[in-house]
Amino acid sequence: MQINRFEAAGLNCIEVAPDEVNPDLPLLIGLHGRGDWGESYVDLAELISETDYRFIFPNAPLPLPGAFFEWFRFESANLGKEAATTRQTIFQLLEELMARYTTPASRTFLFGFSQGGMMTLEAGLRYRDRDNQRLAGLAVLSGMLLADAPFQASRQTSLASYYASDKGDLKAVLAAAAADQIPLFAAHGIYDPVIPVGAGRSTREVLQQAGLVVEYYEFQGEHQIILPEIQFLRQFIIKSLAKND
C-alpha cells in the first residue's frame, strides 16, 4: 500500500491507499485514541483491506505533554462539553476530505478508538453534508457516547443517570439519527481498565432506546484493538457501504 501525508482542516493526516488507486474507492476515516497519533494506525488499514478502501488517519489537534495528541481535554468534569469544542473540526475535516477525493458522504465511513470513538459519535451522529446526507456508518472501538453533563468515572458501570442529565441536544440528535437509521458498530473489551465495559454497554443501551440499531460485540481483552474485532468491523463496513450502492 502507498502512504501519503498532507494537511486537512488544520490537522496533519496520513493517507493509506492501495498501490493502484481506484478514484471511486470508499473513504474510511479513523480517529486515534488519547495520547496517540494517526501514524499508529497504518497497520490497521492493511488488516481491514489492502485493496478496497482509502484510509485517512488524522492527528488530533491538541498536543498532550509527554505523549502525542488528544481530541479534547480530559481534565474537565464535563467531557461532553469539551468534546463539543472539537466537533466543528471533525465536520471541517469530513468536508475537506470528501472534496479532496470527490467521495460522497454515502461512501464515507467514520470510526475511532477510545477518545477517537467518543469523537466519532460526537461528530458522526450530528453530521450531514451540504445535500443533507449522512455518513455511510460509524464504528466505536472501546469508546462511549458523551453527554453534556458532569461525568464521574465511578458511575461508569451504569450511565443511565448521566445521559438523563444531559443539558445539550443529545436527545434530539439521537432521535434524528434514529430516523435516518445510520449504521452503528461498537466493540469493547470486557476487561478494559480505561473505559470499562459498562460504559460501552450503557452506550449501546441509550442508542437502542433512542431507536438506533447497534451491532455490538464484546471480546476477551482490555483497552485494545484485536484481530477478531477487526474481522467483525470489516464485515460491518462492507454491509454499511453496500446499503448505498
- Inter-CA distances, 48 with 55, 92, 93, 232, Å: 10, 25, 22, 10
CB contact set of 95 (below 8 Å; sequence gap of 6+) = 9, 129
Q: Which of 195, 213, 176, 172 is nearest to 79 (CA)?
A: 195
**Exposure string for 178-205, b = 16+ CB within 10 A, e = fewer:** beeebbbbbbbbeebeebbbbbbbbbbb
Tell me whether strands 137-141 and 108-113 are parallel, antiparallel or unpaired. Answer: parallel
Percent of the chain with pLDDT over 90: 84
Digit-coded pLDDT (tens) for 71-112: 998 888 888 988 999 999 999 999 999 999 999 999 999 999
What is the pLDDT, as a whole number, of residue 70?
96
What is the pLDDT, as a whole number, of residue 158?
66
Say which CATH number the domain at 193 has: 3.40.50.1820
Digit-coded pLDDT (tens) for 43-80: 999 999 999 999 999 999 999 988 799 999 888 888 89
Q: What is the pLDDT confidence band of residue 134, given thresholds at 50, 70 and 90? A: very high
What is the pLDDT, as a whole number, of residue 20?
85
Q: Which of 153, 119, 152, 156 is nearest to 138 (CA)?
A: 119
- Count of domains in the chain? 1
Residue of higher predicted confidence among 22 and 98:
98
Handedness of CA 238, 41, 53, 47 (dihedral sign): negative
Digit-coded pLDDT (tens) for 179-226: 999 999 999 999 999 999 999 999 999 999 999 999 999 999 999 999
- pLDDT at residue 153 greater than cutoff 70: no
Cα separation, 147 vs 83, in Å, equals: 9
Would you mind telling me the total number of residues written for the chain in this entry? 245
Which domain does 41 fall in, by range?
A: 2-242
What is the pLDDT, as a whole number, of residue 14?
98
